[in-house]
Copies of this chain bind each other. A is one copy, B any other.
Amino acid sequence: MSRLENILIKLKDGSITVEEAALKIKGQPFEDLGWAKVDTQREMRQGTAEVIYGEGKTAEQIAGIVKTMNASSQNTVMITRLSSEKADKLSKLTDIKYDGVSKIAYTGEKAAPDGLGKIVVATGGTSDIPVAEEAALTAEILGNETVRLYDIGVAGIHRLLANRDTIMSASVIIAVAGMEGALASVIGGLADCPVIAVPTSVGYGASFSGLSALLSMLNSCASGVCAVNIDNGFGAGFLASRINHMEAKK
């Protein structure tokens, strides 16, 4: 249930007045910190809170944004691309949980899984795991059940085929792969659900830091596949969650 519905229900059942509701809804849609304009109504507008991109911000800045968001009733706040050093500092300023593989920190609690089905996160190799974990943890925080299928790259296609049932039972699949990125096409050819391809910068030489995988995924001959930016596990997890929470809209 979204924050907006929450306010409207409280109004309806009399626990808040019309004036209070209006205030909560109308309140300035962003908080201006001078150097940052925190989007305090994104949750109401788009269903999920603003997510903080941790790279290039100091721990103090992040803590400031987190507090501003908490103050406007957004309790679960995610921070992505947070180095372990910065996480250490941040944990002294505000209460966070931190995962060192995905480099994600968050305040509050993971939402209870309530999507249409399971989100399967697959990787081509073991080096793709950090990006995959960013995707999986994002999806979990946003209220999804996830299944991890790691190291099923096409160089040993039987490892992938052995997991065909898991693939067929998925609600959404996130295919994470570097180098030639063929995983997305092969999964795309098997699955009957949306497939979100995440190219990774894993590889060397003519992988050109993920360009090779990205082009492969964009050119996938399988239908039902789309791509996000190189190494963008968060984006894939976020979109997968949105798809997994689809409901009738008239």
How often does this chain occur in the complex, in copies? 8
Report the Cα distance A239→B193, complex, angstroms. Answer: 9
Given contacts A116-B248, A248-B117, contact A159 B37 (CB under 8 A): yes
Size of the chain A interface, CB-CB below 8 angstroms: 102
Which 6 residue pairs are nearest across A and B when measured between Cβ atoms? A205-B230, A182-B182, A117-B249, A212-B215, A56-B127, A226-B226
Interface residues of A (CB under 8 A from B): 29-30, 34-37, 39, 42, 45-48, 50-51, 53, 55-57, 61, 116-118, 124-127, 129, 150-159, 161-162, 169-171, 179-182, 185-186, 188-194, 196, 199, 201-232, 234-236, 238-239, 242-244, 246-250
Listed by A's residue number, 20 A-B pairs whose Cβ atoms lie within 8 Å are: A29-B158, A34-B150, A37-B156, A42-B156, A51-B223, A55-B127, A55-B204, A56-B202, A117-B249, A117-B250, A157-B161, A180-B216, A186-B186, A193-B249, A194-B239, A205-B231, A223-B235, A224-B242, A225-B235, A226-B235
